[in-house]
Amino acid sequence: MQWLVFVLAFPLLWVISRLPHRLFYGFSDFVFFIVYRIVGYRKEVVRSNLRLALPHKSESELKSIEVKFYKHLCDTFLEMVKTMNLSKEAVKKQYAVQNIDLLLEIEKSKSVLVVCSHYANWEWNVSINNYVQAKGYAVYQKISNKYFDQWVKNVRARWNTTLITQKQVVPTVVRNHKNNITGIFGMVSDQSPQKHLAHYWTNFMGIKVPVVNGAEIMARRMDLAVVFLKVSKVKRGFYEAEFIPITTSGANTEKNEITDTFLRLAEQQIKERPEHYLWTHRRWKHRNSAPEEFL
């Protein structure tokens, strides 16, 4: 069944990825109409999240953000499909990296964790590996359909990126260190962890929630550098990426310092243009159940 789904879906995805710019985003407008106007995909989740995270906004402002978000969401999904036929030269035009020298300097001496949030186009973040000398890795969740999983790995490999799971990060860093190899590890770090696995609760957008702190744990134990990747949507289909250093030595940071700095940078980004954040995710679902030690 997995193979059949892949075989049926792949030709359509290929055709979409080959559409010229105007037709491609015209198709995205059609997808928006279906997803938002007809299906209403996760509308209640989005509205609840927007009210929680942006309580100072009026209902009309929240409605405007909601509509813009769904249009951006459809663009992002289709841009992920576009990746399969997007050349290195093309992605450099549509995803411009502003200060790559900062990353190039750090990678000379140690491995780097590049942390980001589900903001703008996180799918094209892996194209950064076209600029660096170090081995590039992206931490991802394995896709249940093994054929799509392998397809995604092959697509990312075109941009010098190796996909690894969360469990593979530490062994990979250790192996690279033993062989005197530096690596760039990209991690989306704003997920909501399972409640029983949460080790740290703090405010995110003014709401007490459990947060993922795996990047900090690795950085402090293995003395890795940590850099925040801020991506801005310049216009439809075009993005700019900027690196903001958090630390060049994780071992010399205080407990929760890296995590808190990341969250503040992510919050600032969301507040600037909230329509480009992933509001369909149930980010604040555990907000009323923090243990007493974190209240």
What's the confidence (pLDDT) of residue 55?
Answer: 96
Residue-level pLDDT, tens digit, the chain, 295 residues = 888 888 888 999 999 999 999 999 999 999 999 999 999 999 999 999 999 999 999 999 999 999 999 999 999 999 999 998 888 889 999 999 999 999 999 988 899 999 999 999 998 998 998 888 888 998 888 888 898 888 888 887 778 888 888 888 889 988 887 888 889 999 999 988 888 778 899 999 999 999 989 899 999 999 999 999 999 999 999 999 999 999 999 999 999 999 999 999 999 999 999 999 999 999 999 988 878 777 6
Q: What is the DSSP string of the chain?
A: -HHHHHHHHHHHHHHHHTS-HHHHHHHHHHHHIIIIIII-TTHHHHHHHHHHH-TTS-HHHHHHHHHHHHHHHHHHHHHHHHGGG--HHHHHHHEEES-HHHHHHHHTTS-EEEEE-SBS-SGGGGGGGGT-SSEEEEE-PPPSSHHHHHHHHHHHHTTTEEEE-HHHHHHHHHHHHHTT--EEEEEE------GGG---EEEETTEEEE---HHHHHHHHHT-EEEEEEEEEEETTEEEEEEEEEES-GGGS-TTHHHHHHHHHHHHHHHH-GGGB-TTS-TTTTTT---GGG-
The answer to whether the Cα torsion of 61, 64, 70, 73 is positive or negative is: negative
What's the confidence (pLDDT) of residue 230?
Answer: 97
Task: Please tell me the pTM assigned to this model.
Answer: 0.93
What's the confidence (pLDDT) of residue 295?
Answer: 65
What's the confidence (pLDDT) of residue 75?
Answer: 97
Q: What is the DSSP string of 196-220?
A: GG---EEEETTEEEE---HHHHHHH
What's the confidence (pLDDT) of residue 194?
Answer: 82
What's the confidence (pLDDT) of residue 157?
Answer: 78
